[in-house]
Structure 1
Amino acid sequence: MDTPQNTALARALTELPGPLPARGVIHIAIRHTDRFTVVGNHLAQHTGLSTVAVGFAVRIQSLPQGTEIGIKALAARFREGEKIIATALRELEAHGYLRRARTRLANGRIVTRTVFCNQPTALLRAHCAGTSPWLPPAEPQAPPPVQDAEPEPPTPEPPAAPEPGAPQTPAAREAAAPQTPAPPDVQQQQEQAPEASVPQDHAPYVVLVPPPTAPRQPSPPLPQPRELTAELHRAATALLGDLRRHAHQLVLSENDIRQLAPAVAAWLERDTRPDTIRHALTNDLPQPLRHPAKLLKHRLTALIPPPLPGPDDLTAAARPRIAVTPFQTCDGCERAFRSPAPGHCRDCRTEHTRAAA
């Protein structure tokens, strides 16, 4: 009883004229007088665009000109994340609704200029026809007034009837056939039609977005153990099959377990505890999870830890080496002193300096 009921729709439904459909949506269309945006059905019912991309296209189309529509600007304005916004913008670019290009200004600064077109197909057809889609068609000019009446051209005489039994040529048959004047609308279309025109329904579709320059990097291979023993394979298979007890989304087929078992064996070979592997594979799963095997393949490859250091590595790291200067024998007094190279001790060098002075 606390839920508010919208009785206005119920009253408006009773006032609709004509029979109503037995099922499906019933539209109550009220004409907008202010703050509205015209959206074509080619966008609203586009089968190649996702619902998120269509929604952002409508939002971008409703914004005033000059508004920032970058990924961060849209993320600050709406509640969708940057990844969803970036995916939607790439879809709009692929279908010609959006174009982002880097432009150098007069002061040398490089900016990204974003262009949105509400009818990319009409823009492409106008480009092929050499016309401008946003300018109104030129109005037909009235013919100039006739100054002096010219004499009417002489009426051509009808051709003479052929003699009976004589063969008729195609030209003679066309001349003898009665000429029916074409309707005015057909005559106007024939006068306005160009000599060579491209059919509107078969206008070529030009992709406005350049192809990516960087090739897609291949996915790294699964880690492999140095020696896949029967014990390691049994432990890896049991760990993968037990994952669905800890996360119901991770239901793997026998083929998936057979392919992923060597990677888990590589983790076990590097002295990784089974609890650690299970936590790395089941922690923070995406919702919804559509491809469990692909997610586990990525995590087993990207999160594999390095091998544990040996005792010798830890001992060498705990006791760093100290550089020791060796003993040398003085060439003058034969006294021992520390120096990286042989020579004289400090006293002998001082006496030689005094003698030279």
Structure 2
Amino acid sequence: MDTQHDNALAHALAAIPGPVPPSGVIHIVIPHTNRFTVVGNHLAQHAGLSLVAIGIGVHIQSLPAGSEISIKTLAARFPEGEVKIASALRELEAHGYLRRTRVRLAKGRVATRTVFCNQPGAVLRGGVVPGAPGAPVVGAAVRNPAPAPARVTEPARVTEPEPTLVTEPARVPEHIRVREPEPTAVAGARPAPIRLPAPTAPKQPRRPLPHPHALTPERRQAASALLADLRRHAVELVLSEEAVEELVPGVAAWLERDATTDAIRHALTADLPKPLRHPARLLRHRLTALLPPPLPGVHDLTAPRRAPVTPFQTCDGCERAFRSHEPGHCRDCRAPYGEAA
């Protein structure tokens, strides 16, 4: 039986210019006139992407803007499952071809905006800025797209395009960043409420330093000596003469309330923060916040006297109990016996 020969294939191979390779794939290139998509070799031959990710990337690039490319839509279109398709989309997103962001639409609804960039490397190098006049149009597949701009036939005269999202797998320079488009308001819909920042509590004014009722020379001298001596007990508490003069009334107020010098020194030097940058401010705060109350007097410490209580008596007539300082009859029995109230 003779071997069949495909004459059409033989004629096509004969029309290939140049020598035919002895092994491997042989390309028969026929120019496309319609329904074709230009795909870069950086995607078709990407070394870091799986074959599923490359195929899904080519499929997404061939779709018109506004096409649905969710995981469920792709799983219904291809035999691969949702898990494999989701993994392929994450690969494209990791290498800068795909970007998915959450945007808030009118009436508070949230939608996923998906952007596909056919040359993420050119965006990072600054050679191509998507959306700029004369630049190639980046096909964007958006789940809830805004109205697409009119097709432009002459690159020289381009109307102002809508903002296009730029995929950012790494930090993109400021001069090529493109702002995301704001959600288009729906006609007749109520505008989204404006969220104002939460009001902050007003700052409380600083409490004044306590002053004694009478700043006697003795108290002034004792307070000044105590403040100047603090650096012997804590090396951080080195005060200037001006700071000592300012804090003298506060220490004098403590002395007026019968606080001992040891108690004042302990309150001012205990548990100092590390490092201490403003010793005078710390001492002012402690003298104000830890001011003890005045000592109570002797009469304030005595127990209050209880009011005298009238004892109970037993009525001599009806033997009921009643309160009285002297024995006798109750109120009901006084009339028959002629006793006074």
The TM-score by the shorter chain falls in which range?
Answer: 0.3 to 0.5
The TM-score with structure 2 as length reference comes to: 0.40
Pair member with larger Rg: 2
Alignment TM-score, normalising by the size of structure 1: 0.39
